[in-house]
Structure 1
């Protein structure tokens, strides 16, 4: 496998009620962290290919909330075209530029969390690796059934696509 392919590959594994995702980005840790911690960066890459993100609120601090909407703008995605997906993140712990801990949930336009959709308790660790950044994401679910449901919804494929968007964005801002 080439160095470039090794960098761009999303690795994942399941451990009980936890899905662990690992990905290396060809950018410094401080910059990768900023792309997750500053709203102007997030709006430029968050979401899978063909989706645009709009930030309704963004308060990056423990107890703060990021409320956003992703809209599919890609007509090739047929049934998804025009679909909106609202999300709400509540931050719990932030250590710049090393760690972000938060709860992620589907919501409605007003920010009311969907009681039917699985919630994720997420810990993101940003590790410096000779000018590159290894991102390790631990997605903890309430039950193994909830984890399985999210995997079946395409979480891993969506994250892989989303991280490809981040790769492209990082090339623009380096």
Structure 2
């Protein structure tokens, strides 16, 4: 079970997160590349995701909103977080590269919030998949800002949601 735990490290201005999923690579890649799948697991536990726009192709945009629906999360309940990803490179089922920014409801970038260039590598391990996500920030300070905001805990929670979702669709 310990191999399915999120591991992370920083390399300068890059945050590297690794996690193994109990599902074949094609299925894990599909969970990241199709809007219907993403909306079923993206975001931390207790949050729901709605896609406003989804174009999975180089130059394409994914504009989405995460909403806290869990009353137990106190002040977060009812809160919305808008984000926008612009896909740069897609090599199915091995790699996705995109730029991620906080945005508003119209898709305008949020001023003062760090932009992240994310490279996701999906490593085939037979019936398992190792995901390595490298998030590169403009500076060490920008990386520290999102770490302080709870990005590692958020991704860890999000990957648990993905685990649950993969089990549902893999054995459906």
Aligned residue for 2:107, secondary structure, equals coil
Aligned equivalent of 1:161, options 144, 157, 160: 157
C-alpha distance in structure 2 between counterparts of 1:44 and 1:28, whole Å: 18
Structure 1 segments of 4+ aligned residues over 2 angstroms from their partners: none
- Which residue does 2:74 correspond to in 1? 78
C-alpha distance in structure 1 between counterparts of 2:32 and 2:111, whole Å: 26
- Which residue does 2:119 correspond to in 1? 123
The Cα shift of 1:131 comes to 1.3
Aligned residue for 1:68, secondary structure, equals strand
**Size of the alignment, in residue pairs?**
170
**Which runs of 5 or more structure 1 residues have no equivalent in the other structure?**
none
Give TM-score scaled by structure 1 length. Answer: 0.97
Give TM-score scaled by structure 2 length. Answer: 0.98
Aligned equivalent of 2:87, options 78, 88, 91: 91
The answer to whether structure 1 residue 13 and structure 2 residue 4 are counterparts is no
Aligned residue for 2:67, secondary structure, equals strand
**Which runs of 5 or more structure 2 residues have no equivalent in the other structure?**
none
Query: How well do the aligned residues superpose, as a CA RMSD in angstroms?
Result: 0.5
C-alpha distance in structure 2 between counterparts of 1:6 and 1:69, whole Å: 31
